[in-house]
Structure 1
Amino acid sequence: MLKAIHFGAGNIGRGFIGYLLAKSGYEVTFVDIADSLVDDINKYKEYSVIILSDVKTEEKVKNVKAINLKDKEAVKKAVLDADLVTTSIGANNLKSTAGLLKEVLEERMRANDRPLDIIACENALFATNIIKETILEGASEEFKKYLDEKVGFPNSAVDRIVPNTNAVKECPIDVLVEDFFEWDIEKNKVKVNSEIDGAEYTDNLEPYLERKLFMLNGAHATVAYLGYLKKYEYIHEAIMDEKIRETALSFHKECLKALNIKHGMEISSLEDYSKKVIKRFENSYLQDVVSRVGRDPIRKLSNKDRLVSPLKLCIEYNLEYNTIAKGIAAGLLFDAEDDPKAKEVQALIKAEGLRAAINKVCGIEDEKVIDLIIENYNQIKNN
Structure 2
Amino acid sequence: MKAVHFGAGNIGRGFVGLLLHEAGYEVVFSDVADALITSLQQADSYTVRTVGATPGEVVVDGFSAINSTQDPQAVTEAIASADVVTTAVGANILKFVAPNIAAGIAARPEGAPRVAVMACENAINATDLLEHEIRANYQGDDLDSKALFANTAVDRIVPVQASDAGIDVTVEDFYEWAVERPPFDGQEPKIPGVTWVDDLGPYIERKLFTVNTGHATAAWHGWAAGHATIADSVADEAVQEKVRAVLKETSALLVAKHGFAPETQQAYAEKCLGRFANPYLPDPVERVGRSPLRKLSRHDRIISPAAELAERGMGTDALVGALAAALAFTPEGDPEVDSLQEILRSQDADQATTTITGLEAGHPLFAAVREKVASRQADL
Smaller-chain TM-score range?
over 0.9
Deviation sequence 1:324-376 (CA, Å, 0-9, x none): 11111211111121101111111111111444222102101236634323545
C-alpha separation between the residues in 2 aligned to 1:220 and 1:33?
28
Residue 56 of structure 1: how far off its partner (Å): 3.5
Contact 2:306/2:365 (CA < 8 Å) preserved in 1? no
Q: Separation in 1 of the partners of 2:336 and 2:292? A: 6
Change (3 A) 1:111 1:150: closer
1:17 paired residue number: 16
Question: Structure 2 CA distance, aligned partners of 1:138 and 1:25?
Answer: 31
TM-score scaled to structure 1, two decimals? 0.93
Aligned-pair CA distance for 1:266: 0.9
Q: How far does residue 8 in structure 1 lie from its aligned partner after superposition?
A: 0.1
**1:184 paired to 2:178:** yes
Aligned-pair CA distance for 1:139: 6.2
Look up the equivalent residue of 1:209 and give its one-letter code: I
Residues 65-116 of structure 1: CA distance to partner in whole angstroms, max 9, x if unpaired? Answer: 11001111111111111110000000001122122222222232x5552221
Amino acid of the residue matched to residue 148 of structure 2? G
Distance in 2, Cα, partners of 1:76 & 1:351: 46
Deviates more, 1:184-193 or 1:17-26: 184-193
1:266 to 251, 261, 264: 261
Map of 1:34 onto structure 2: 33
- Residue 193 of structure 1 deviates from its aligned partner by 4.5
Distance (whole Å) between structure 2 residues aligned to residue 41 and residue 82 of structure 1: 20
CA distance in 1, matches of 2:378, 2:212: 23
- How many residues end up aligned between the 2 structures? 375
Query: How far 1:194 moved relative to its partner?
Result: 2.5
CA contact (8 A) 1:87 1:121 kept: yes
Deviation at 1:37, TM superposition (A): 0.5
Q: Secondary structure at the match of 2:58?
A: strand
2:38 alignment partner AA: D
Unpaired runs of 5+ residues, structure 2, are none
Report % sequence identity.
37
Q: Kindly report which structure 2 residues correspond to 1:1-383, keeping only aligned pairs within 5 A, or say none.
A: 2-54=1-53, 56-70=55-69, 71-108=71-108, 111-137=110-136, 143=141, 146-166=142-162, 168-169=164-165, 172-190=166-184, 192-366=187-361, 369-376=365-372, 378=375
User: How far apart, in 2, do the equivalents of 1:350 and 1:379 lie?
Assistant: 10
SS in 2 for 1:185: strand
Give the 3 Å change call, closer, same or farther, for CA 298–376 of structure 1 in structure 2: closer
Shift of 1:197: 1.0
Say which is worse superposed, 215-224 or 49-58, in terms of deviation: 49-58
Report if the CA contact (8 A) 2:37-2:67 is conserved: yes
- Runs of 5+ unmatched residues, structure 1: none
Matched residue SS, 1:173: coil
The aligned amino acid for 2:221 is L
Q: Which amino acid is the alignment partner of residue 80 of structure 1?
A: A
Q: Is contact 1:178-1:286 (8 Å) kept?
A: yes
User: What is the CA–CA distance in structure 1 between the aligned matches of 2:4 and 2:246, rounded to whole Å?
Assistant: 37
Change in Cα spacing, 1:236 to 1:251, as seen in structure 2 (3 Å) is same
Q: Is the 8 A contact 2:76 2:107 kept in 1?
A: no
Letter in 2 for 1:92: N
Distance (whole Å) between structure 2 residues aligned to residue 116 and residue 31 of structure 1: 17
